[in-house]
Structure 1
């Protein structure tokens, strides 16, 4: 709860006005941030990486989710496992590097040794009565959805992940991320609350004036518009886009690429949205010239003009899958007013840098967009601190998905905390 001088969190949740942004404490309060980490990041499925982050047995990757340090490791059978990064002896971390390769998992402090399945294999000087079977590493729930890795810290994670996975697998499978590689990744610290980072992503109202690189391959009409504000020429363009979208969906689905809109952003615990959209210009990829960034296409795709599939998940990710590469994003809160945005660019595992792709061309659009968005998030964080701030109305034409993110957040917090 908030301190005695502040409005209680339950009261703020109850009085949230649909169609409006959240009240300032949701973006600034350390107490609400702590509740977010408990309820949202402690009890829901979180996107944290991709199968190619740990492609071989013994490969491991660490990350922090609030106060929880965890690591993912591929075991000898090729399965991905996740554990709390805490030795069962005195609590020292087992894995210290962001990415590494191990044989067994050995604590640096007293050499307690664990297998890749988390079982304690060796612990010297512990006496005859010591039962090693009771001191294995504490597991974390982990799932791979066609190469996208999700974890949940709760003892009992939301069961509807399997519903999402069943619906999304046919959309993602053609891109075959398990046979891709991470060509480049980059972390930036956004100067804003994690919800502001997610809200900014959930709309393109701001795109035309702030993202010159991103908007090159995008159709303006793919992100909402106000029909009553269009002149005759613009109305014709919108109608043409609608026809193109429907024709593209028919063509792509006839080739085995599910494409039509599927949206469950605020009616599931594991909220998500997906749709495959056509690209403007030469229409091949998210690049400055809209041409494919990599000569080797992903998976079983044989035509670079299969559009761009987007996939969003609540509470912390968005992704773009093109014919030639994929870009995946995760948001991990650091404190009430800072968030880690981690972006990874993936290409076919056999693609050769300098021959099939260049890092500059591959990353140019989203690297610039991330920096621009980070600045915008900072502006909103500055505004939320002002005593003049009050919740403002969302555009019903271009910010409806921001509203759904806030609906999801309020509903999940309320369900956990009770009214």
Structure 2
């Protein structure tokens, strides 16, 4: 497929039709992909990891976002910091592994050494006039939301993160991620554009493809057409509403905020949260719908607390239960490839094989991720077709997909200076 020019992209943005999927170049074009990196991933708060990834001083992880490599490290004062992963001498990559532990950060090329606050400690043969204080590592903006790590590559990041964090902290804090550990992490490459990954995540119209995940949800929670309800569906809806009342009493007794709170479209750091009813035993997203880890999180003593979901624009989704949490980050690799990274967290004192079985803990989302990756691949193959035209979203099950694509087009509009266009006004 021929690529598009910047004027073409402006036209695509201007004629975006609310309530419909995006035109094909948004999913296939190298020029659009490059603009996505510049306008979205270089300028917004990107979810990149969890605090338990760096549990001890000196522990680090490296994260790639487009052409940028970032180091996230815990310093000797237990503060988590982020830096560009390059030496201030001649730009060599500093840390080459995905994760590890260091005393200081030392460049392999000419052995410039930095401490864990980013200060340059040692640089040979630079002369008496050389000022080490001017050559520390380049910092990256980092925010730690109750154990969730977000970075922003912009010189001036969106100022709305702190307001979002203040809203979300009471929802997340009871799960006490800072006292969790990473039980498992997994990388999956989806053969599709990152926006298709996110669109797929923002709806459950397709959730009949997820029999494992479906065990823990009432079908009406996926959405339904109120004008087309069978007697069987009516019974399911009644059971769902009764379960919601029961769970609301449990949540109130535990002092847990419920939501929903939704601000997905108009702000740069769009987000949504809601505490969810789970079916069956109602405890966790497992094949049995019971907890997978006997050591509950935080100060929880009640396992049957359903789940909390949390989304952020542009690239994350999260599920919190009483016994474990699951976190997802989508990072674009190319116009048609996306990295989906998943973390499973349990209480840091939980012992594998005693308090939890790793297969039981992870099997639902390992299966669901694979199914979603396949569906995204099907869609990517379809949008390459010359027959593809944007299709309508269901108003009952895909309104949140429309919210994502509307947010995305508005952010491109803001970046490109396009304003006052129907459906794509810059926020």
Sort the TM-score into its range (normalised by shorter chain).
over 0.9
Structure 1 CA distance for aligned equivalents of residues 20 and 53 of structure 2: 38
1:59–1:102: 8 Å Cα contact kept in structure 2? yes
Deviations 1:13-68 (A, max 9, x none): 11000000000000000000000001100000011010100011111110100000
The reply to whether residue 215 of structure 1 matches residue 208 of structure 2 is no
Q: TM-score, normalised by structure 2?
A: 0.96
Tell me, what secondary structure is at the counterpart of 1:229?
A: coil
Structure 2 CA distance for aligned equivalents of residues 416 and 287 of structure 1: 42
After TM superposition, the structure 1 = structure 2 runs for residues 154-233 of structure 1, keeping only pairs within 5 Å, are 154-208=154-208, 210-233=209-232
Tell me, what secondary structure is at the counterpart of 2:265?
A: coil
Worse-superposed segment, 217-226 or 41-50: 217-226
Q: Counterpart in 2 of 1:25? A: 25
Structure 2 CA distance for aligned equivalents of residues 278 and 94 of structure 1: 46
Q: Counterpart in 1 of 2:422? A: none
Query: 1:241 deviation in Å?
Result: 1.8
Query: 1:233 deviation in Å?
Result: 4.0
Q: Counterpart in 2 of 1:332? A: 331
Q: Which runs of 5+ in 2 are unaligned?
A: 419-427
Tell me, what secondary structure is at the counterpart of 1:361?
A: helix
Structure 1 CA distance for aligned equivalents of residues 32 and 162 of structure 2: 29
Structure 2 CA distance for aligned equivalents of residues 245 and 267 of structure 1: 29
Deviations 1:116-174 (A, max 9, x none): 11111110000111111111110000011000000000011111100110000000001
Structure 2 CA distance for aligned equivalents of residues 306 and 273 of structure 1: 19
Structure 2 CA distance for aligned equivalents of residues 6 and 81 of structure 1: 36
Q: Counterpart in 1 of 2:425? A: none
RMSD: 1.3
2:73–2:81: 8 Å Cα contact kept in structure 1? yes
Query: 1:92 deviation in Å?
Result: 1.0
- When residues 114 and 205 of structure 1 are mapped into structure 2, their CA distance, relative to the original with a 3 A threshold, is same
Structure 2 CA distance for aligned equivalents of residues 346 and 176 of structure 1: 10
Structure 2 CA distance for aligned equivalents of residues 63 and 48 of structure 1: 7
Q: Counterpart in 1 of 2:101? A: 101
Structure 2 CA distance for aligned equivalents of residues 152 and 4 of structure 1: 28
Structure 2 CA distance for aligned equivalents of residues 291 and 250 of structure 1: 19
Structure 2 CA distance for aligned equivalents of residues 7 and 154 of structure 1: 24
Q: TM-score, normalised by structure 1?
A: 0.97
Structure 2 CA distance for aligned equivalents of residues 375 and 96 of structure 1: 30
Structure 1 CA distance for aligned equivalents of residues 152 and 346 of structure 2: 27
Structure 2 CA distance for aligned equivalents of residues 180 and 68 of structure 1: 29
Q: Counterpart in 2 of 1:369? A: 368
2:47–2:150: 8 Å Cα contact kept in structure 1? yes
Worse-superposed segment, 254-263 or 170-179: 254-263
Q: Counterpart in 2 of 1:293? A: 292
Structure 2 CA distance for aligned equivalents of residues 126 and 115 of structure 1: 18
Query: 1:6 deviation in Å?
Result: 8.3
Q: Counterpart in 2 of 1:55? A: 55
Deviations 1:156-215 (A, max 9, x none): 11111001100000000010000000001110100000000000000000011x111010
Structure 1 CA distance for aligned equivalents of residues 233 and 371 of structure 2: 27
Q: Counterpart in 2 of 1:400? A: 399
Q: Counterpart in 2 of 1:412? A: 411
Tell me, what secondary structure is at the counterpart of 1:43?
A: coil
Structure 1 CA distance for aligned equivalents of residues 407 and 230 of structure 2: 35
2:4–2:31: 8 Å Cα contact kept in structure 1? no
Tell me, what secondary structure is at the counterpart of 2:349?
A: coil
Structure 2 CA distance for aligned equivalents of residues 259 and 355 of structure 1: 32
1:185–1:345: 8 Å Cα contact kept in structure 2? yes
Q: Counterpart in 2 of 1:307? A: 306
Deviations 1:319-369 (A, max 9, x none): 100100000000010000000000011100011111111111000000000
1:249–1:276: 8 Å Cα contact kept in structure 2? no
1:227–1:235: 8 Å Cα contact kept in structure 2? no
Query: 1:255 deviation in Å?
Result: 1.5
Q: Counterpart in 2 of 1:318? A: 317
Structure 1 CA distance for aligned equivalents of residues 276 and 374 of structure 2: 27
Aligned length: 417
Tell me, what secondary structure is at the counterpart of 2:78?
A: coil
Tell me, what secondary structure is at the counterpart of 1:334?
A: strand
The reply to whether residue 8 of structure 1 matches residue 8 of structure 2 is yes
Structure 1 CA distance for aligned equivalents of residues 50 and 14 of structure 2: 37
Q: Counterpart in 2 of 1:391? A: 390
Tell me, what secondary structure is at the counterpart of 1:357?
A: coil
Query: 1:251 deviation in Å?
Result: 3.0
Tell me, what secondary structure is at the counterpart of 2:291?
A: coil
1:57–1:74: 8 Å Cα contact kept in structure 2? yes
2:5–2:31: 8 Å Cα contact kept in structure 1? no
Tell me, what secondary structure is at the counterpart of 2:318?
A: strand
Structure 2 CA distance for aligned equivalents of residues 33 and 350 of structure 1: 43
- When residues 339 and 114 of structure 1 are mapped into structure 2, their CA distance, relative to the original with a 3 A threshold, is same
